């Protein structure tokens, strides 16, 4: 069994981080427009879940072609001196 590459191991953290940024933006916009913290937290949580679902679905839909896969494999190889 092959070990997953560094890129494959970090990908879930990328999705969570990007979703958190989107959710934070939504929460701040709602907080600044309504001045209600409860409503802003609700929208922040909903925004995080929706952003995570959308990003995950887009990631599943996008598959690299042969040239892109070759470049990804080349970049994951360790570089020696």
Q: Write the CA distances from 13 to 28, 37, 51, 61, integer angstroms.
A: 22, 27, 14, 19
Comparing 3 with 78, the larger pLDDT belongs to 3
Domain boundaries, the chain: 6-73
pTM over 0.85: no
Choice between 7 and 53, residue whose per-residue pLDDT is larger: 53
Rounded Cα gap, residues 79 and 69, in angstroms: 18
Structure tokens at 73: 């494999």
- Alpha-carbon span 26 to 48, nearest angstrom: 9
DSSP codes joined into one string, 14-39? HHHHHHHHHHHHHHHHHHHHH--HHH
Res. 80: pLDDT tops 70: no
């Amino acid at each position: 069994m092959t070990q997953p590459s560094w890129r494959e191991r970090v990908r879930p953290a990328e999705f969570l981080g990007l979703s958190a940024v989107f959710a934070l933006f939504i929460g701040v916009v709602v907080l600044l427009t309504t001045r209600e913290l409860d409503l802003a937290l609700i929208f922040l949580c909903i925004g995080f879940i929706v952003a995570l679902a959308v990003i995950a679905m887009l990631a599943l839909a996008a598959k690299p072609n042969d040239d892109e896969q070759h470049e990804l494999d080349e970049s994951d190889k360790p570089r020696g001196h």
